[in-house]
Amino acid sequence: MSDRTPASVARFKSREAVIGIVGLGYVGLPLMLRYNAIGFRVLGIDIDTAKVEKLNAGRSYIEHIACEHIAKARDSGFEATTDFSRVSECDALILCVPTPLNKYREPDMSFVIDTTNAIKPYLRAGQVVSLESTTYPGTTEEELLPRVQEGGLKVGEDIFLVYSPEREDPGNPNFETRTIPKVIGGHTANCLQVGIALYEQAIDQVVPVSSTKAAELTKLLENIHRAVNIGLVNEMKVVADRMGIDIFEVVDAAATKPFGFTAYYPGPGLGGHCIPIDPFYLTWKAREYGLHTRFIELSGEVNKAMPEYVVGKLMDGLNDRCRALKGSRVLVLGISYKKNVDDMRESPSVEIMELIEAKGGIVAYSDPHVPVFPKMREHHFELSSEPLTAENLASFDAVVLATDHDKFDYTLIQQHARLLVDSRGKYRAPQANVIKA
């Protein structure tokens, strides 16, 4: 063991270390707040100048993270910067950058690679680099390891490399950064030791695994498990609908079994930064080993088809009322990917909006968490959230419930919508103007 290893561990245990968080989004920002709250000096690094300026002014850009928490962190030593040369000030560098898919549904590693290249010139002995971005098994070894060692530092002796997948669930009041167990894999035993010392200060339970690859696959398994089960219940929804059965009633009944069943509920498709994307990371990597992950890919196909299923139900409902979708005014309720948050990443609601528009419908939306449609890499709407009044609801030919925010007045919606397409099972009792989707 290198004599530098105990020094690194000691700095984290004494909380004298400087924590550098690269990528100040839905993952990086809560992590920053946690380390700041327990007395560490935290430096945030992001390429987005607007984000950095907001944070340094004590303002938040994520709805469920209050401005006063950012201001308190700033007043107690947190600072954000776009200057990557300041990497050298940090004892830990935690990378929380996006890992999306490209247009071919293959991993886009550009954010991870570009970030690693950006910090590379400023790395020094004694630091630990931790990747938290969800990715395929082998990323840490194949992409980070050679770059980190390029300047002559030896991983495991001079500098330490770990993979520890994020497990944030934005807007979930039952869990916070501190209470969600943290899986960690190190490139070497020394790396793992330093990684544990880094995270055990901030997280109640640390779960070491044997390698970075094992940690990378752990994250994929968690999310693929969810994606596959949602795919199953979405397929069951279609079958139940043809049979005239309410799938939500069936899931609720099955959930009374105290063993051997976990309730998953259908919806309009998958959203967020993990569930729609992560399965494709594994299927892509598995091809390198000559394997075809048919089960995982099938669930992806089922889930991907759900927005079209919802729009098909909308068209059926309009046809029954002697209207075509073309020229109809349609209000989509909820455009974030899950209830009670402002997170738009991979939201199936947006795909529903695009499908409606592509078929000639005039689309609008209402979302109390998203007052103005944000700039997105792949989706463009010049829209603002519509007020939910009786008069406004009645002015639309159809209303599609895509994301079931608690702030919606569901009685008002049902009473005044001409046609209501419910993709979330909010309306269990039969209603003349409600179609389940």
Q: Is 59 among the domain residues?
A: yes
- Cα gap 98→108, rounded to integer Å: 9
Looking at 209, 229, 264, which one is the last position of a domain?
Answer: 209
**How many of the other CB atoms lie within 10 Å of CB of 219?**
23
41 and 169: one domain?
yes
- Cα gap 142→130, rounded to integer Å: 14
Q: Which of 18, 37, 143, 137 is nearest to 81 (CA)?
A: 18
Q: Is 104 among the domain residues?
A: yes
Q: What is the pLDDT of residue 348?
A: 95
Beta-strand relationship, 182-186 and 160-163: antiparallel
Q: Which of 101-110, 191-200, 270-279 is predicted most confidently?
A: 191-200
Average pLDDT of the chain, as a whole number: 94
Domain count, the chain: 2
Q: What is the pLDDT of residue 5?
A: 55
204 and 314: one domain?
no
Crossing angle of the two packed helices 278-288 and 212-242, in degrees rounded to 10: 120
Q: What is the mean pLDDT of residues 142-164?
A: 97
pTM (predicted TM-score): 0.91
Looking at 193, 209, 225, which one is the last position of a domain?
Answer: 209
pLDDT over 90, % of the chain = 88
- Cα gap 335→100, rounded to integer Å: 19
Phi and psi for 122 in degrees, rounded to 5? Answer: -110, 10
Is the pLDDT at 2 greater than 50, yes or no? Answer: no
Looking at 148, 183, 209, which one is the last position of a domain?
Answer: 209
Tokens matching residue 263: 């309730």
Q: Which of 237, 229, 340, 322 is nearest to 275 (CA)?
A: 229
* Residue 164 near residue 182 (C-beta atoms within 8 A): yes
Q: Is 233 among the domain residues?
A: no
pLDDT tens, residue by residue, 55-85: 999 999 998 899 999 999 999 999 999 999 9
Q: Is 264 among the domain residues?
A: no
Q: Which of 4, 54, 1 is nearest to 25 (CA)?
A: 54
Catalytic position from the list 67, 96, 274, 322: 274
- Cα gap 387→161, rounded to integer Å: 50
Q: What is the pLDDT of residue 253?
A: 98
Q: What is the mean pLDDT of residues 172-180?
A: 88
**Lowest model confidence (mean pLDDT) among 67-71, 188-192, 236-240, 281-285:** 281-285
Q: Which of 365, 243, 238, 400 is nearest to 309 (CA)?
A: 238
pLDDT tens, residue by residue, 209-263: 999 999 999 999 999 999 999 999 999 999 999 999 999 999 999 999 999 999 9
pLDDT tens, residue by residue, 300-345: 899 999 999 999 999 999 999 999 999 999 999 999 999 999 999 8
> Taking the alpha carbons of 31, 33, 34, 36 in that order, is the dihedral positive or negative?
positive
List of residues 6+ apart from 172 with CB closer than 8 A? none
Domain of residue 83, residue span: 4-209
Q: What is the CATH number of the domain that holds 152?
A: 3.40.50.720
**Lowest model confidence (mean pLDDT) among 10-24, 34-48, 277-291, 414-428:** 277-291
pLDDT band (50, 70, 90) for residue 3: very low
- Cα gap 239→245, rounded to integer Å: 9
Q: Is 286 among the domain residues?
A: no
The yes-or-no answer on residue 67 being catalytic is: no
pLDDT tens, residue by residue, 371-428: 999 987 777 899 999 999 999 999 999 999 999 999 999 999 999 999 999 999 999 9
Q: What is the pLDDT of residue 1?
A: 42
316 and 200: one domain?
no
Q: Is 221 among the domain residues?
A: no
- 373 alpha-carbon distance from chain centroid: 18
Of 300 and 117, the structure prediction assigns the larger pLDDT to 117
Q: Is 421 among the domain residues?
A: yes
- Cα gap 263→253, rounded to integer Å: 10
Q: What is the pLDDT of residue 369?
A: 96
> Taking the alpha carbons of 200, 206, 212, 218 in that order, is the dihedral positive or negative?
negative
- Cα gap 436→208, rounded to integer Å: 45
Is the pLDDT at 142 greater than 80, yes or no? Answer: yes
pLDDT tens, residue by residue, 101-113: 887 788 999 999 9
Measure the CA dihedral 61/67/70/72, to 10°.
170
Amino acid at 395: S
Tokens 């869990």 sit on residue: 175
Q: Is 395 among the domain residues?
A: yes
